[in-house]
Structure 1
Amino acid sequence: MSKDDIQMATAANEPSTLPADVGDLKDLSAEDRKLAELGYVPVFKREFSTWSCFSFAVSASGLFSSVSATLSYPLYAGGAASAVWCWFISGMGCMAIALSVSEIVSAYPTSGGMYFTCKYLAPKRWVAEIGWLCGWLNVLGQATGVASGGYAAAQLMLAAVSMGTDLTYTPTPGHTVGVMAALFVVGGLINSLSTRLMERLTRSYVVFHVCVLVAAIIALLVKQDNKHSASYVFTNVESESGWTPVGFSFLFGFLSVSWTMTDYDATAHIAEEIKEPEKKCPWAISTALLFTYLGGWIFTIVLVICMGDPEVILSSPIGQPVAQIFFNVLGKSGGMFFTVAAFLVINFGQIVAIQATSRTIFALSRDEMLPLSRVWLKINKHTGTPLNAVWVLIVFCICLDLIALGSYTTVAAIFSVCAIALDWSYCIPILCKLLFGKFERGPWHLGKASFWINIYACVWTLFVSIIFILPEFRPVTAENMNYASVILAGIGLFATVYWYSGARKSYHGPKTQMYIDPEARLHSYSGRAS
């Protein structure tokens, strides 16, 4: 980007400007120079390597634990065939979104992720409105993803406890909520560490994850004597949802895949903490999602082959069908081991999701998009990270999951909200790329296939969004209603009221900020905390 381009982008958004002499940028690394040219002050230390980026991206999906937490959805929807084929079909749509996101992130690598790209992809007169919509959808999707992941982690932990008591203990909503809150506090404490320490922790996640996945697949296939036939696995359709025809019910199985293969741009939100983010971010996103797609499909097939009677595992007293499969096939010790392993994997995912979401809160606050933005913007001078953003997220997720004390069905809707909100926060920039022709590709791109992959990603998102707001069971009652639409409407109403009550006067889209010399950059935001 030229000096004139920088000044034009600045004028189009906010009165804050870069100095007339942009020669000061020579003192920065290539990555920080690119960030300054995009209009943002470098405030983070770039500690993440190629391997830790990949591990981060794999952990964001939490394949092993996510499949374990959501297998019930396709089994209720259409039985064995729904679980297997929904993974295969939906996985292709999710891969199209992931590849489209990777391509755009390569061109504009910042903590704002896909939200920030609206500044360059949308027409100037619409940047504020499109950025507002995209930003709120993204932070809503990430926050609900963290909230639902925390609840699922608590369920897995208590399932292991139940196995330890030979199923004499049955988890209650109150116990689950209590464990969930404690896990969030631990996750917040871990995310209060410096970027260097977070990077060192992240390196090991993918190794543990892959080892557990392979061990579980081998153990189930070896120990299960009464395996289902290939005909049953790939063709058996049994709906417990009450929807007719059965083929329509079958579609609700897509939720398991969309909740697992989501948060594609999580790695993008730590782009300002990565060396060569324009190459490493898209590579990590695309390869991690391909691993999740193929590994998740294989793992799902194995689970269906070895699950035994689906009615037995769906009525499990421990509340987790996959944990019940491990218990039935591998016994108490084996069941506890793999359930605890799933619990650890999902918590690895929670740690990276909290990190990514807190960086999103920081990025939106940097553009004065959130209430009390100046508070969430502060960088702690000891850790070099936005601790206020971390802890407001923790408090929000705990409060959201407290709904489970009154209605688990409402909490289950958070899974749907996560998938819908996140995917549309990605598709809005993708649509802008397709419609307005302003995109200038980065070093990682899709070439001639880009247009068709982008189109498929948007069409797929529209298709599954309709499914995810429908009630999963019929007849519809207050107890089994899908409240995803209510949660989306509530947040949408808040964002709209907040916009018209004054935010539109201060928010003009992603800002361009004043450049600060390297010696002062780490104190540029922390100074506000003093």
Structure 2
Amino acid sequence: MSEIKLTSDELRQRVLSNTGADGHLKTGEFEIDARTVAILSKRHQISKNFGFTSMLSFSTTVLVSWEAFAVTFQGGLVNGGPSTLVYGLIFSFFGSLATAASLAEMASISPTSGGQYHWVALLAPRRYAVLFSWFAGWITAFMRIAVTASVAFLAATMIQGLIILNYADTYVLQQWHGTLMYWAVTLFIVLINIFGVRFLPHIETLALVLHVVFFFCVLIPLVHLAPHSSPEYVFRTFANDGGWKGDGISWCIGLLTSTYAFSGVDGASHMAEEVDNAAIVVPRTMIWSIVVSGVLCFGMSIAILFSIGDANAALESPTGFPIIEIFFNATKSYAATNAMVSALIISIFFSALGLLASASRLIWAFARDDGLPFPQYFSHIDARFGIPVRALLWSAFIVVILGLINLGSTTAFNAMVSLALLGQYTTYVLPTIFILIRRIRPGKNIPFGPWELGRWGIPINLFTIAFSFLTIAFNVLPPYFPVTATNMNYAGVVFGAALIICAVLWVFKGQKHYAGPIKEVMENRNIRSALLRQGIEASHNHDVKIVAA
């Protein structure tokens, strides 16, 4: 079989141009697998509002790299110390860049909102493609919603941290306060996603501008006003305050702080059906978003470490966020601290905005392929707004329900949202393994898109797999030792429960109704006839129901 290097639109045109009036594909010009045509041929349903600039803005602000690092760096400071936050960040950058490159190549092959579950179905061995696609779809759905919940909760608790800073003598911290703020953030991002959808590309472009401007607005006063640490502390200090006997284990656990700053690179791929020339634009934005994020994040890490002052005092901040304490110690001003922290909150809010959009497109795509209950309902595109409003509201509803967990236990809520990083790299490594197998096995050609890794594909895929397994392995370990019920990392338990749920759903629904992401309507009769000649089943209403060939 010949290799295919076409976008989905180009592929449909090639099928049409090589199809005779009798519906037969012309021979001699190119040979094509009917299953590949079916998977790549998705009927366009959502308005294409995004170009390169707005998509780069979306991908970069969803990552919210330097802001995420600034508000979560304490984990790396405890396990590994400054050395993890400097050298570990460099390692995480290259690991995340390799991961982005591997996923970008697959996004070029199949630029659909389905993302990982779509790529798995296309690249996995045919015998297991539907099963693996099912698991990839459900895990990705769990993960995208968990990521949205974690970022929205981060914005809410930072607001609560500012209240503690400004009203330390009168405010009494209550968990339900944070949950109410979390729900308010969720409500705002839902309203903007629906009623501001036509302006979403412009909003994302504004978010990127603010992302860069806020970086300097925070960096300059921090470096200029804060007491400076020594280069020895920043570049040569190691810490193992997590209680682990092995320093290497402590360092790798701290590495997750840096990895979290680059997580979520697949977010852009789930918006692919709203992007012009998605097979080229989406992969490029995925790569460039990691590059931009890496530069800004490394600069912020150096600035924070040089300006940290008393590290123990920062870690024990009553606000719950050491960065708030660092800002206040540097500026000695409530107003300046409020402004600097507000910049972080605004950027994190924009990230939650994009994450909800990305999650809803994935839910919609999975429903469109019969991967969810009530598929016709959740695959509906609202005629007024041109987006899957029902899928968006359902995603938001689950995010809201997750907030109830925090009322009972913050530890339980953190366990749920920690599923984000674990789930992400599980869904990243799965299709990467399959495309690597195809690369190294003769006769297993890959339907490459216009953006591909070429001869660098094997080493980049290998590095992606190794980095993903490293992240997965240490993400299930608790940050402190000895382990108690309070500091226990429940990510592995939650992820295991998610896998069990996926298995149960597969037994009772998936194996009966799910045929993979290869069910779509082909409206052109010539294309329909050509695909029918290759063994693809037609439905009674003369549309084409595409099933695995």
Q: Normalised by the size of structure 1, how large is the TM-score?
A: 0.88
Aligned mates of 2:375, 2:453 — CA distance in 1 = 36
CA distance 1:61–1:22, shift in 2 (3 Å): farther
Aligned mates of 1:297, 1:405 — CA distance in 2 = 36
2:90 is the counterpart of 1:91: no
For structure 1, the residue ranges without an aligned partner over 5 or more in a row are 11-18, 24-33, 518-523, 525-530
Instruction: Identify the range of structure 1 (153-162 vs 199-208) with the bigger mean alpha-carbon deviation.
Output: 153-162
Equivalent residue of 1:471, what SS? coil
Q: Is the 8 A contact 2:422 2:491 kept in 1?
A: no
1:480 pairs, out of 470, 487, 497, with 487
Q: Is the 8 A contact 1:119 1:131 kept in 2?
A: yes
Aligned mates of 1:293, 1:414 — CA distance in 2 = 27
Q: How does 1:109-508 map to 2 (within 5 A)?
A: 109-165=111-167, 169=171, 171-193=173-195, 195-224=197-226, 226-330=227-331, 331-436=333-438, 437-508=444-515
Q: Letter of the aligned partner of 1:423 in structure 2?
A: Y
2:534 is aligned to none
Q: Is the 8 A contact 1:410 1:482 kept in 2?
A: no
Aligned mates of 1:254, 1:20 — CA distance in 2 = 60
Q: Letter of the aligned partner of 2:399 in structure 1?
A: C
Q: Deviations over 1:227-276 (max 9, x none)?
A: 11111011212232111123321211122222221111211111111111
Aligned mates of 2:412, 2:437 — CA distance in 1 = 37
Equivalent residue of 2:516, what SS? coil
Equivalent residue of 1:318, what SS? coil
Aligned mates of 1:251, 1:416 — CA distance in 2 = 16
CA distance 1:194–1:342, shift in 2 (3 Å): closer
Q: Is the 8 A contact 2:272 2:278 kept in 1?
A: yes
2:516 pairs, out of 492, 509, 517, with 509
Q: Letter of the aligned partner of 1:369 in structure 2?
A: G
Q: Is the 8 A contact 2:139 2:498 kept in 1?
A: no
Q: Is the 8 A contact 1:170 1:318 kept in 2?
A: no
Q: Is the 8 A contact 1:194 1:383 kept in 2?
A: no
Q: Is the 8 A contact 2:39 2:517 kept in 1?
A: no
Residue 54 (structure 1) shift: 0.5
Residue 110 (structure 1) shift: 0.7
Aligned mates of 1:503, 1:40 — CA distance in 2 = 21
Residue 415 (structure 1) shift: 4.6
Residue 116 (structure 1) shift: 1.0
Residue 438 (structure 1) shift: 3.5
Residue 35 (structure 1) shift: 9.8
RMSD: 2.4
Q: Letter of the aligned partner of 2:403 in structure 1?
A: D
1:82 is aligned to 84
Q: Letter of the aligned partner of 1:84 in structure 2?
A: V
1:71 is aligned to 73
Aligned mates of 2:273, 2:311 — CA distance in 1 = 46
Q: Normalised by the size of structure 2, how large is the TM-score?
A: 0.85
Q: Is the 8 A contact 2:428 2:468 kept in 1?
A: no
Question: Which structure has the larger Rg?
Answer: 2
Residue 21 (structure 1) shift: 6.0
1:31 is aligned to none
Aligned mates of 1:452, 1:354 — CA distance in 2 = 33
Equivalent residue of 1:56, what SS? helix
Identity of aligned residues (%): 26
Aligned mates of 1:366, 1:37 — CA distance in 2 = 13
Residue 196 (structure 1) shift: 2.3
Residue 373 (structure 1) shift: 2.3
CA distance 1:65–1:167, shift in 2 (3 Å): farther
Q: Is the 8 A contact 1:163 1:335 kept in 2?
A: no
Q: Letter of the aligned partner of 2:127 in structure 1?
A: R
Q: Deviations over 1:172-208 (max 9, x none)?
A: 3221111001111111111113642222211211000
Aligned mates of 2:504, 2:194 — CA distance in 1 = 33
Q: Letter of the aligned partner of 1:262 in structure 2?
A: S
Q: Deviations over 1:39-58 (max 9, x none)?
A: 22210111111110000000
Aligned mates of 2:169, 2:449 — CA distance in 1 = 54
CA distance 1:514–1:90, shift in 2 (3 Å): same
CA distance 1:35–1:187, shift in 2 (3 Å): farther
Q: Deviations over 1:295-347 (max 9, x none)?
A: 11221111111011111111111111112211211221221111111110001
Aligned mates of 2:90, 2:515 — CA distance in 1 = 41
Q: Is the 8 A contact 1:255 1:468 kept in 2?
A: yes
Aligned mates of 1:294, 1:22 — CA distance in 2 = 53
1:29 is aligned to none
Aligned mates of 1:151, 1:195 — CA distance in 2 = 23
Residue 37 (structure 1) shift: 8.0
1:27 is aligned to none
Aligned mates of 1:414, 1:20 — CA distance in 2 = 55
Aligned mates of 1:259, 1:140 — CA distance in 2 = 17
Equivalent residue of 1:487, what SS? helix
Aligned mates of 1:322, 1:339 — CA distance in 2 = 8
Q: Is the 8 A contact 2:242 2:481 kept in 1?
A: yes
Aligned mates of 1:153, 1:46 — CA distance in 2 = 30
Aligned mates of 2:260, 2:195 — CA distance in 1 = 28
Aligned mates of 2:267, 2:511 — CA distance in 1 = 27
Equivalent residue of 1:125, what SS? coil
Aligned mates of 1:497, 1:512 — CA distance in 2 = 23
Aligned mates of 1:457, 1:415 — CA distance in 2 = 23
CA distance 1:170–1:257, shift in 2 (3 Å): farther
Instruction: Identify the range of structure 1 (73-82 vs 471-480) with the bigger mean alpha-carbon deviation.
Output: 73-82
Equivalent residue of 1:472, what SS? coil
Residue 501 (structure 1) shift: 1.3
Residue 149 (structure 1) shift: 0.6
CA distance 1:184–1:212, shift in 2 (3 Å): same
